[in-house]
Amino acid sequence: MIPRVKGTQDFLDLTVFNFVIDEIKKHLTTYHFSEIKTPILESVDLFKRSLGLYTQVVSKEMFLIHPPTPFALGSAEGGKKEAICLRPEATAPTVRAFIENNIQLLPWKVFSYGPMFRYERPQKGRYRQFHQINIEVIGSDSIAQDVQFIKMLDRFFHETLKMNNYALLINFLGCFDDRKAYELLLKDFLEGPKGQHICVQCHDRKERNIMRVFDCKNPQCQEIYRQAPTIVDQLCADCAAEWQQLQDLLRLLSISHAHRPTLVRGLDYYHKTVFEFVSPQLGAQDAFCGGGRYNQLVGQLGGKEDQSSIGAAIGIERLLLLLEPFKDQLPLPQPPALHVILPLSTGQHTLALLLADTLQAQDICIDVLFEGSIKSMMRKTNKMGAAFALIIGQSEQDTKTVMVKNMVTGEEKRVAQTEVADYLKG
Ligand code: AMP
């Protein structure tokens, strides 16, 4: 057997997965978002430019696609090789689509969902192919927008999915200048006496992408970072006012949250508001949704002018892990009642086909068992959870009837073939 690729999963029952997708679609429609779909294949440069060269995702986790051979490319492309990859996230592709399709009506409120790919070390809740629901508002600068956005997510988790065991962590990274000034301050701190005890990886991060040190899981490093200066204490006057406004509005809308000064999120493009929804039930990979404001990404990716924007990604696999213990309490769609036709010999196969076709055309859920003895077919029908077995032998064929067996009560009734549909519909 050739096993599945490491870090990927087979989904054999999509009931809860599809429920989440259906519900988020309804929910986001209420907030006036529309659905889009962008390709899974994107140019490597898109992520180098947006996420930053020194982020973990770009430097270590990209699934690069080997360019096809010049022969396969054909003469039309003149052998030009474009470096492409499987998308690791969906914000940069959404921004690319915004620019490329010359969207004029702002804010552009869109969402998409689908698989993402990162070459990470697989563990519980961390896969190499995973799914995200991605939500973006491009072209809105207001802090009130951030609050509405966070409320929308919180309401989805709490009210639609009935989740309780989670927390919302927020931080405020200030504007570009604040972030730059803070990075210098943090560097000073880490080059002082306390910084001597950080781990080797953090030393490396300090040089390449200093805010990422906060993502280190090493307890000794974490203890040191608790004593580090915090960015919210270094904000310019405008950002300080916005940070205050953000907290006030979150409180006004009764959104419980905690300030986490070390929450910076892994990617380079965030400014101002950043947030994560976390749950202790998830263990080490505790975030099931993360996002924030990115005000310079549109310009960075070639847009005519910058557009202040905010976005978030919900990790579907982690959401499914959280929903698993109480999924029976969710209003999941019920599959329709199943009825199984049992032709007793090959002589009744044609009749079984015709009967199935007539019933299926009336939206009655029908399966037909073409193989096995009556005993084994009945056993299978039972295991399939059928409501009725529709038995057709020679005598039923001759009399244009069907023997209908109620699989719960065991009661049997001979019904005219022309009346089976009405009988099943009750
Ligand atoms: P990010 O794009 O890194 O901000 O992640 C947003 C959300 O996607 C996280 O909160 C996780 O729920 C989910 N996620 C990110 N990476 C993975 C992964 N490797 N496996 C499963 N879920 C992931």
> pLDDT digits over 134-160, tens only?
999 999 999 999 999 999 999 999 999
Average pLDDT over residues 235-260: 97
What stretches of 316-386 adopt beta strand conformation (E)?
338-343, 365-368
| pLDDT above 70: residue 70 | no
Among 147-156, 217-226, 353-362, the minimum mean pLDDT is found in 217-226
Taking the C-alpha atoms of residue 312 and residue 146, their distance in angstroms, rounded to an integer, is 11
**73 against 68, higher pLDDT:** 68
Residue 265: the pLDDT is: 82
The atom of ligand 1 lying closest to the CA of 125 is: 21
pLDDT band for position 320 (50/70/90)? very high
Q: Which pLDDT does position 164 carry in this prediction?
A: 94
- pLDDT at position 138 is 98
User: What is the model's pLDDT at position 327?
Assistant: 95
To the nearest whole number, what is the mean pLDDT of the chain? 94
Nearest atom of ligand 1 to the alpha carbon of 319: 12
Binding site membership of 287 for ligand 1 (Cβ less than 6 Å): yes
Decide whether any atom of ligand 1 lies within 6 Å of the 47 Cβ: no
Mean pLDDT of 171-193: 93
- Is the pLDDT at 383 greater than 80? The verdict is yes
Q: Is the pTM of this model over 0.95?
A: no
How far, in Å, is the centroid of ligand 1 from the Cα of 2? 27
Report the separation in Å between the CA atom of 289 and the middle of ligand 1, taken as the mean of its atom positions: 7
**pLDDT at residue 165 greater than cutoff 70:** yes
Instruction: Work out the end-to-end distance of the chain between its first and last CA atoms, rounded to an integer number of angstroms.
Output: 47
| H/E run at residue 176 | helix 176-191
Distance in Å, CA 315 to ligand 1 centroid? 5
Q: Is the CB of 130 under 6 A from ligand 1?
A: yes
**For strand 108-117 and strand 34-35, is the pairing parallel, antiparallel, or unpaired?**
parallel
Atom of ligand 1 nearest to the CA of 118: 19
CB atoms within 10 A of CB 223: 11
- Mean per-residue pLDDT for 5-15? 97
In whole angstroms, what is the distance from residue 147 CA to residue 130 CA?
27
Q: Is the pLDDT of residue 289 over 70?
A: yes
pLDDT, residue 81, reads 67
Give SS3 for 34: strand
Answer whether 120 contacts ligand 1 (Cβ < 6 A): yes
* CB of 118 sitting under 6 A from ligand 1: yes
Ligand 1 centroid from CA 164, angstroms: 20
Q: What is the pLDDT of residues 76-101, one digit of tens each?
A: 555 566 789 999 999 999 999 999 99
Q: Find out whether 198 and 206 touch, Cβ atoms under 8 Å.
A: yes
Query: Residue 318 Cα, ligand 1 centroid: separation in angstroms?
Result: 8
**Where are the strands (E) in 69-205, listed by range?**
84-86, 108-117, 129-138, 167-172
